[in-house]
Chain A
Amino acid sequence: MMGYLVAILTFVSLAVLLGLALNIQWGQAGMINFGLAGFYGIGAYTAAILAKHGVDGFTATAAAIAVTAAFSAGVSLATLRLREDYLAITTLAFSEAVRLVLMNEVWLTGGTDGIRDIPRPLVGVIGGEHYEVAFLVACLALIAIVYGLLERIVSAPFGRALRAVRDDDVVAATLGKDVLALRVKAFAVGGAVIGLAGALHAFYFTYIDPGEFAGFVTVYAFMSVIVGGKGSNRGLMAGAVTVMILLEGTRFLKDVVPVLSAQQVASLRLMLIGVGLIAMLIYRPQGLSSEYRLSARQPAGAEPGS
């Protein structure tokens, strides 16, 4: 019972980290990242490969963050002349390219065999028995840190400039904002968080293969952001938890509805998740919570912000 809850909360933590990353890239900077799974894979594989070569877990995680951030910056730089939808297509293609590299560069990634027995950091110190709980605590602490940093970014002038670029980049440029630098930075910050989540994924499962970094990871992250409310980090966390409840809670469905066959329930489960998302978009399109607005807190008479 405890073990299951701990496991589910760990999955939720990974989903929250991915959601937070997407929230700054898409929610704040307006850059659609359909290639999230690819960046997640880069983070996981970087951490796993380094850990397999004897690098300690913390250095491997730091490297995963740096490498993923660098790739993110690179991808956003390569697409600097592309508008929103074209960036989306490019990131999707990038994700596919990553998957193909993971599958084909057998010398580095093990190909479709994946990498197994990834050594977990500090397993000797903590011991196997309490490791899962310790891992969850570490995940929650990391979420707190990432959340704190992102909230600071959102409320800082940098965050305001990002939202300005998102809403109209021509206006932002006219006001003297360096639109390109802002976009690259936002994408890199998001990439760093994805890299962190990827490294945690590798250490939690201790087994990764290219199939884990397919489109559904991206879809779940988008679901979290949409349900939670685009642009709001607090709403995002509620959104990620809701999505995971939908995903996991439907597992208990067949214990309640015994008339259906296992296969029908398995398919029904996936359908219910889709229906839930559609209902959410119809009845609460702004999500559970709306984004940070400075103007809402200002006293009457002040200049209305945007």
Chain B
Amino acid sequence: MTYAMSRRSLMGGLAMLPLASCFARADAKEPIRIGVLAPLTGGGGPYGADIVKASKLAADQINAAGGVLGGRTIELFVEDDETSATAAVKAARKLLDIDRVAAITAVWGSAPILAVKPLTLEKNVVLTALGSADEVTEGDTRGLVWRFQARASSWGEPAARAILKGGPKKIGLLHLQNPFVAAMIPAFLKTIEEGGAKVVSNVEFKPDQPSYRAEIEKVYAAEPDAVFVPAYVNQFTAIAKEIYRGGYKAKVLSLTIAAAAGIDGSSAFIKNVGKEVAEGIEHVQPISPLDRPEYKAFVKAMGAPEGTVFPFAALQYDAVNVLAVAIEKAGSADPVVFSKQIIAVTNGPGIKVATGAEALPLVREGKAIDFTGAGQDLKFDDRGELLGRPFLHQAIRDGKDVIVGTVGGGA
């Protein structure tokens, strides 16, 4: 008897939970709801907090400037995707069905994006992703999927150009097995061959290995002059230590998400491996050009020291701004309608503006604008692919990042 009671009350509780949140929200002037499905825990955890902060910054600025569509505010709903496909699906269901968001933004990592994409398409909601895997914008996206990041296959060529700078002849490749890294490999190999060098060893490794020693020995057995190691920070930390311990001398190039030391030497990577291990490691990544005034203003608004590298937050800031401007331009909060205006507000021609707060009054006056953004000068193709992402090539000297130059992209 007691058992039957408890089950009933449990079911009642289950049913009431979502209802309660519905009742709590019955406002007069309907805000525009935007989901921020960010990686707050798990593999993407190190980037999640900044992504959420940048989203809030954008929403606060827009709301302070009077909101959109005659005073409607942007309301953010933050959920944790735990950098996992199943968790992302659960969180996305909550955002779509309970919060009824018009867009889900900030999704990071191939698995969560690919798992969430069918849901947003089914509900006719805009999806903006911060992940690179090629498949994100493939298939029938109905103009609702936008990537605020460089496509993975476009990373290979700039990486190859960066590693060829010193004129090495024999290149080693030690790469993580995942969709994002796999996509950049063909263009990398092609550019190396065209540059007159040769890939002498090509070794793959898996995430979460207890040791990478066997793979490292295999790569260096062919005596390369330089080695490219595309990975995330967790794996690269272990690999950098093992390369140092092994006494290998070849130049090491990785990705900035893995190997950034930070302009002030404050990154997690440098803290974990120390200055000596990190010395001379180079890294490359599509990055917001640090000297652009729009980017500097963003860093300042984030309350971070000048020159801080935000690999994802700047583009997420832009994503929220672009959505708000597109909504104003379309005169509608219907995702299918305002999604069509994204190219119109970003690709120009028009008055160049960098934030939603600046752009909104111009759009209200009916002027054409060319939204440039903090992360880069935003341009999209009709598949929702971000174009001309500049790549920054940096090297670690005495525990700090030093800029070597830009490679590729349209900076």
B70-90, CB < 8 A from A: 78-80, 82, 84-86, 89-90
- Shortest distance between the CB of B133 and any CB in chain A (Å): 9
Please tell me if the beta carbons of B182 and A3 are within 8 angstroms of each other in the complex. Answer: no
Stretch from A5-13, A84-92, A134-142 at the B interface: A5-13
A-B contact number at CB 8 A:
125
In whole angstroms, what is the CA distance A26 to B408 when docked? 58
- Shortest distance between the CB of B24 and any CB in chain A (Å): 7
Please give, as numbers and ranges, the residues of chain A lying within 8 Å of B28 by CB-CB distance: none
Please tell me if the beta carbons of A209 and B111 are within 8 angstroms of each other in the complex. Answer: yes
Residue B94 contacts which of A100, A241, A251, A288 (CB distance < 8 angstroms)?
A251
Please tell me if the beta carbons of B14 and A245 are within 8 angstroms of each other in the complex. Answer: yes
CB of A255 within 8 A of chain B? yes
In whole angstroms, what is the CA distance A73 to B24 when docked? 52
Task: Return the CB mask of B34-56 against A: 1 if under 8 Å, else 0.
Answer: 00101011000000110010000
Please tell me if the beta carbons of A206 and B94 are within 8 angstroms of each other in the complex. Answer: no
Task: Return the CB mask of A99-112 against B: 1 if under 8 Å, else 0.
Answer: 01001101000011
CB of B381 within 8 A of chain A? no
Please give, as numbers and ranges, the residues of chain A lying within 8 Å of B48 by CB-CB distance: 262-263, 266
In whole angstroms, what is the CA distance A289 to B10 when docked? 14
The answer to whether A1 and B114 touch (CB under 8 A), given A251-B79, A266-B41, A289-B3, is no
Nearest neighbor of B110 in chain A, beta-carbon distance = A113
In whole angstroms, what is the CA distance A211 to B82 when docked? 12
B257-271, CB < 8 A from A: none
Please give, as numbers and ranges, the residues of chain A lying within 8 Å of B96 by CB-CB distance: 3-4
In whole angstroms, what is the CA distance A288 to B22 when docked? 30
Please give, as numbers and ranges, the residues of chain B lying within 8 Å of A1 by CB-CB distance: 18, 22, 97-98
In whole angstroms, what is the CA distance A159 to B125 when docked? 51
In whole angstroms, what is the CA distance A3 to B98 when docked? 9
In whole angstroms, what is the CA distance A8 to B6 when docked? 20
Residue B178 contacts which of A11, A112, A205, A252 (CB distance < 8 angstroms)?
A112
Which one of B3, B10, B86, B98 has the highest number of Cβ atoms from chain A below 10 Å of its Cβ? B86
Please give, as numbers and ranges, the residues of chain B lying within 8 Å of A241 by CB-CB distance: 7, 10-11, 14
Please give, as numbers and ranges, the residues of chain A lying within 8 Å of B98 by CB-CB distance: 1, 4
Residue A266 contacts which of B6, B13, B80, B93 (CB distance < 8 angstroms)?
B80
Please give, as numbers and ranges, the residues of chain A lying within 8 Å of B20 by CB-CB distance: 252
CB of B206 within 8 A of chain A? yes
Residue B17 contacts which of A2, A111, A208, A245 (CB distance < 8 angstroms)?
A245
Please tell me if the beta carbons of A267 and B86 are within 8 angstroms of each other in the complex. Answer: no
CB of A114 within 8 A of chain B? yes
CB of B276 within 8 A of chain A? no
Please tell me if the beta carbons of B38 and A112 are within 8 angstroms of each other in the complex. Answer: no
Question: What is B's interface to A at a CB cutoff of 8 Å?
Answer: 3, 6-7, 10-11, 13-15, 17-18, 20-22, 24, 36, 38, 40-41, 48-49, 52, 78-80, 82, 84-86, 89-91, 93-94, 96-98, 110-111, 114-115, 118, 122, 135, 177-179, 182, 206-207
Question: What is A's interface to B at a CB cutoff of 8 Å?
Answer: 1-5, 7-8, 11, 100, 103-104, 106, 111-114, 116, 128, 205-209, 211-212, 234-235, 238, 241-242, 245, 248-249, 251-252, 254-255, 261-263, 265-267, 269-270, 288-289
| Pairs across A and B, CB under 8 Å, 20 listed | A1-B22, A1-B98, A3-B93, A4-B18, A5-B15, A7-B93, A103-B206, A112-B207, A113-B110, A128-B122, A205-B89, A212-B85, A238-B7, A241-B7, A245-B17, A251-B94, A254-B78, A265-B80, A266-B41, A266-B82
**10 interchain residue pairs of minimum CB distance:** A4-B97, A266-B40, A266-B80, A3-B97, A262-B78, A7-B93, A113-B179, A263-B40, A262-B52, A263-B49
Beyond the given A3-B96, A255-B21, please list 18 additional residue pairs across the A-B interface where CB-CB is below 8 A.
Answer: A1-B22, A2-B97, A3-B93, A4-B96, A4-B97, A8-B14, A209-B111, A212-B86, A249-B17, A252-B17, A261-B52, A262-B49, A263-B52, A266-B40, A266-B48, A266-B80, A266-B82, A269-B80
